[in-house]
Copies of this chain bind each other. A is one copy, B any other.
Amino acid sequence: MVVTDVAGPAAGGELPTGKTRDALRAAHLYYLQDLTMDAIAKELHTSRSSVSRLLSHARATGLVEISIHSPLDLPSRLEQEILERHEVSAHVVPVPDHASDVDRLERVALSAARILTRFIDSNQTIGVAWGSTMSAMSRHLAPKATHNSEIVQLNGAGNLRTTGILYASELLRRFGDAFGARVQQFPVPAFFDDPATKEAFWRERSTRRLLDLQASMDVAIFGIGSPFAEVPSHVYQGGYLERADYQALSRDGVVGDVATVFYRADGSTDGIALNSRATGPDFTVLRRAPRRICVVSGQAKLPGLTGALEAGLITDLIVDEGTARRLVERSVDDLGSDRAD
C-alpha cells in the first residue's frame, strides 16, 4: 500500500491534492449544497463515477456523519419507559419481529456501530469486551478521528483450543483503526484454571498496568452473555467452559455475564465461584466508567439483560425493538415487587 494521501507525495507542496481533500469537497457540495453528482463531477473535473466513489469514501471514513435525533417531545415510548424504569438511556433499534436471530444481531450491531460514534471522543480510554455481538459491531464501525485515545481489552480471550488472540485482536484492531486509537490487548485466557494463578498474574506489573487502564475507563462497551439460552453466546461454544462449570453456574442461579463476569437475576455476584477465575473487570471497577454501553439483540438475552440492569452496569442501552418491548412488559409485571426479589 502506497501513501498517496494526508500530505500528498511532497508534504508542503503547493496543491495538497489528496483524495481526502477531494472527498471533503465533494461531500460539501453534495450534502451541504445539494448538487447532483454530475454537477460535482464537472466542478472537480472528473467523472461522475469518481464522485460517487469519493462520496462513498467520505462516508466510509467518517468525513460525513449522519445522525438521527428524535424530537425531544416524542422519544419512542419504549425508550421513555426504559429510561424511567431503569434510569438508562435506551436506543431502540427497529427490527421486524419476524427477523431471524442472525439478521437481528446484524442489524442491531450495525445500528450500534453508527450510534457509538457519538460517544467516542479524544483523550478517552475505551474498554471493549468481545463476543459475537461485539464482533459484528466491530465490522461496521463508523470511523471517527480522535487523538490520544486508547482501546483496552476488558477480558481475556484464550481458551483450551486457541489463545483467542487472533479473534480478539482482530476485533480490537478494528476498533482501534476506526478511531485512530492505540490498542491494549489483554493476553490471558478467558478463565484461569486456578484462582491462585490469576491472583499471581494480577500482581504482575504488566498486568497491573492494564488493570489500571481498565479502572480509569471513560467508556465501556460490551454485550451480554447468556449461558442458558437456547442459542448460547459465543463464549459458551468455544471451549471456554466445561460441563462442571455449567453445572456450577446453574446451581448459583446465574443468568448472564458481562465480559465473562457472571451475575444472578438480582445483579449479585457474590459467591459465584467461576468469577474468581474469570478475567473480566469486577463490577465495582466496571461501574467506575462514566459511560457503559451495552448492546443486546434477541430475547434470549432478556434475563441476562435484566440482571445487568439490576446490577447497574449499564448507562446506555442499544437493544432491538422486540427485546425492548419484552423488557418493558416484564418490568410492568414486576412493578411493586421490583426490589422485592
Contact = CB atoms under 8 A, between A and B. Distances in A.
Interface of A: 6-7, 16, 18, 20-21, 24-25, 27-29, 31-34, 43, 58, 62-74, 76-77, 93-94, 96, 107, 110-111, 114-115, 144-145, 147
B68 A67 contact: no
Given A16-B77, A63-B71, 19 more contacts: A6-B73, A7-B74, A21-B76, A24-B68, A24-B76, A28-B94, A29-B94, A31-B68, A33-B93, A33-B107, A43-B94, A58-B68, A63-B68, A63-B69, A64-B67, A65-B69, A66-B66, A69-B145, A72-B145
A246 to B, nearest CB: 35
- Interchain residue pairs A-B with the least CB separation, the first 3: A32-B111, A71-B145, A31-B66
A71 B20 contact: yes
Nearest to A26: B94
Contacts of A147: 72
5 contacts: A20-B74, A21-B76, A64-B66, A65-B67, A65-B69
Nearest to A113: B32
Contact of A68 (B65, B70, B145): B65
A16 B74 contact: yes
